[in-house]
């Protein structure tokens, strides 16, 4: 099952809970002052901008996706 959450720049708790269900090691994830997130993916670190989606694939992998690609 694929699951996703959209980063609004204000829903850090929702994103935290979404990621924490899959990866309890939250030290790999960071919120920057400009409301961007850095997430750990199978391809390395990715920057998530406001309105981007964070998607969990069928094997539990995380990646980001632009809104127009959804």
pLDDT tens digit sequence for 5-62: 999 999 988 998 898 887 766 666 777 888 899 888 888 989 999 999 999 888 888 8
Kindly tell me the number of DSSP H helices and DSSP E strands found in the chain: 1, 6
**Beta-bridge mates of residue 56:** 3, 62
pLDDT tens digit sequence for 10-25: 998 899 889 888 776 6
pTM for this prediction: 0.84
């Amino acid at each position: 099952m694929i699951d996703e959450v959209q980063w609004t720049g204000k829903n850090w708790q929702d994103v935290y809970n979404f990621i924490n269900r899959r990866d309890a090691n939250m030290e790999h994830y960071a919120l920057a002052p400009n409301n961007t997130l850095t997430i750990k993916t199978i391809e390395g670190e990715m920057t998530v901008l406001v309105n981007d989606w964070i998607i969990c694939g069928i094997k539990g992998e995380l990646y980001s996706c632009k809104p127009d690609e959804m």
